[in-house]
Amino acid sequence: EVGASASPEHGLAELHVHIEGTLEPELILELAERNNIDFPHSDLDELRARYEFTELQSFLDLYYANMDVLRTAEDFSDLARAYLARAARAGVTRAEFFFDPQAHVVRGVPLTEVVEGLSDAVAAAHREFGVDAAMIASIVRDHPVPDAHEILGELLRLQAPIIGLGLDSAEVGYPPSLFEDVFARARAEGLRITAHAGEEGPPEYVWQALDLLGAERIDHGIRSLEDPALVARLVDEQIPLTACPLSNVRLRVVDSLAVHPLRRMLDAGLAVCVNSDDPAYFGGYVDDVFAALHDQLGLTVDERNTLARNSIRAAFT
């Protein structure tokens, strides 16, 4: 059954998921109450009615607003545990999730609360859920560049147990080139590098992520298909692309799942895998992604196995 969990003999890695994007509406309301926050949308139906997006920015507005309920280490730990439990049910054996430290620090949440809460869940993940978990700090690219330097310095000073540095948030107008020095420092510190590029931004941003940031993986990268020389490079070097088909549909990067270029990417020999991105916002976890690809793109068992194998190969292990 293609839509069910991962092929158990090989496992499945989820490499492109933002932990703040796993914040379900029910948990938002629960944390608002726990933290005595007067959340503006206190009714589940009223909250859910807002999950209609026209492009990346309209999603990001809600994503950053909703995370206001995350205040304490316990909140972050509960958030990550809920994701890891659900990911385990989806067949995930390895999870490398992003978090956005700047998005919390600007709200006055101490970085130590964020890191302690998340790392507590990560440390227990194998025992509690059978998932091998790790964290990647992500630079919020539409914040000032000096803030990126500062947050990396803080993470290093705290010896936060992160395995890598990523780059996310509003893409167009914020090219990877802005962050060359930040990523050079991260590499020098032994961090693995990945970057969102070619989601809404042009192929040029993918080239920059590779050549200027030293990205070992590209998150999304779907617009790479517009540039044959870039596709040749990605195939040649087998650079993993962490595709997120449900996200692409909900953020209108593609018109529908039926016309998603995933099969074209596989057929071109790209090292593509599939992920949920922000499962609380885009219609499901990675098992739901596979099920939708089966139903609407006719994804075969062989293709499914290739995607799972690609995900394991692309992991930073």
**Among ligand HPA, Zn ion, none, what binds residue 41 when CB lies within 5 to 8 Å by partner kind?**
none
The residues in 9-48 that bind ligand HPA, with binding defined as CB under 6 A, are: 18, 21
Q: How far apart are CA 147 and CA 206, in angstroms?
A: 23
Which contiguous run of DSSP H or E holds residue 302?
helix 301-314
**Among ligand HPA, Zn ion, none, what binds residue 199 when CB lies within 5 to 8 Å by partner kind?**
ligand HPA
The residues in 96-155 that bind ligand HPA, with binding defined as CB under 6 A, are: none
**169: contact with ligand HPA by CB under 6 A:** yes
Give me the least distance between CB of 130 and ligand HPA, in Å please.
Answer: 26
What is the per-residue DSSP string for 83-147?
Answer: HHHHHHHTT-SEEEEEE-HHHHHTTT--HHHHHHHHHHHHHHHHHHHS-EEEEEEEEETTS-HHH
3-state secondary structure at position 197: strand
Instruction: Tell whether 38 is in a known binding site.
Output: no
**56: contact with ligand HPA by CB under 6 A:** yes
- Match 């395995």 to its residue by tokens: 163
* Phi and psi torsions of 143, nearest 5°: -95, 165
Angle at which helix 145-157 crosses helix 111-129, to 10 degrees, equals 60
**78: contact with ligand HPA by CB under 6 A:** no
| C-alpha distances in Å from residue 90, one per residue of 2, 47, 95, 275, 276 | 12, 25, 11, 11, 11
| Active site residue ranges | 199
Strand partners, 97: 135
* Phi and psi torsions of 255, nearest 5°: -75, -35
Out of 68, 78, 216, 277, point to the residue binding ligand HPA (CB under 6 A).
277
Q: Which pair of tokens denotes residue 180?
A: 């060359």
Instruction: Tell whether 277 is in a known binding site.
Output: yes
- Choose among 8, 97, 40, 39: nearest CA to 280: 97
**68: contact with ligand HPA by CB under 6 A:** no
**224: contact with ligand HPA by CB under 6 A:** no
**276: contact with ligand HPA by CB under 6 A:** no
Out of 194, 247, 248, 310, point to the residue binding ligand HPA (CB under 6 A).
247
Give me the least distance between CB of 219 and Zn ion, in Å please.
Answer: 5
**Among Zn ion, ligand HPA, none, what binds residue 169 when CB lies within 5 to 8 Å by partner kind?**
ligand HPA
Out of 75, 96, 113, 168, point to the residue binding ligand HPA (CB under 6 A).
168
3-state secondary structure at position 176: helix
**196: contact with ligand HPA by CB under 6 A:** yes
Chain contacts with Zn ion (rule: CB under 5 A) = 277
Q: Could you tell me which residues are annotated as the binding site for substrate?
A: 278
Q: Could you tell me which residues are annotated as the binding site?
A: 16, 18, 196, 277-278
Q: Could you tell me which residues are annotated as the binding site for Zn(2+)?
A: 16, 18, 196, 277
Residues that bind ligand HPA (CB under 6 A): 18, 21, 56, 63, 168-169, 196, 199, 247, 277-278
